[in-house]
Amino acid sequence: MRNLAATLGLIILAPGAANADPVTIVALGDSLTAGYGLAPEDGFVPQLQRWLDEQGAETRILNAGVSGDTTAGGLARTDWALVPETGAVIVTLGGNDLLRGLPPEEARANLDAILTKTGERGLPVLLVPMIAPGNYGPDYKAAFDAIYPDLAKAHGARLAPPFLAPILAMPDRGAALQDYMQPDALHPNPAGVALVVETLGPEVLALIEGAK
């Protein structure tokens, strides 16, 4: 009887153990992903990991953010960033292309190539847009802003709200920058990251479901 009970226990527990295997998500990005200017525990990836843990999501996020990376830099390291256990990918690139005023067609080509590589691996992707400022002119802005929805549609990726949307959408822009951004006005502070996570967290949950 004891052996039978033990056998039954293994049969009952085995499916649960299989379902408990965490989905490994690679967060491929730049300083916004890396957590520039923040204590390690306050960055985007650690805060997102805690948020997902609180939701009971079985996942592990790998921080593949490199400060200063352009879309070209992200493309150059995509192959080795996608470790064998990768089950899904978050792509947050383009901010440094904007800071340098690089041609939108170059960013489009690089992101297209990144999504092609993830597609070849059969990996679901959450594509997080960057929004171009108006100082490069309306044509530049229109061309750059169109990259993300166009590529998400072409590759079947999930399109997230822009990374800084919950901060920049606040009615008092000056107060938002003071309360939720670092002094450089480019990177969110811990409170700002928390707002970003609240917005992107549900998108990542959907990404996890798509990876199962």
Cβ atoms 31, 49 nearer than 8 A: no
3-state secondary structure of 26: strand
30, 31, 69, 97: which is the annotated catalytic residue?
Answer: 31
Which of the following is catalytic: 79, 139, 172, 184? Answer: 184
DSSP collapsed to 3 states, 58-114: CEEEEEEECCCCCHHHHHHCHHHHCCCCEEEEEEECCHHHHHHCCCHHHHHHHHHHH
In the block, tokens 């949307």 appear at 165
- Examine the residue annotation and report whether 31 is marked as an active-site residue of this protein: yes
* Active-site residue, from 30, 69, 97, 187: 187
Q: Is the dihedral of CA 174, 175, 178, 180 positive or negative?
A: negative
Annotation says 155 is catalytic: no
184 is catalytic: yes
Residues annotated catalytic, as ranges: 31, 184, 187
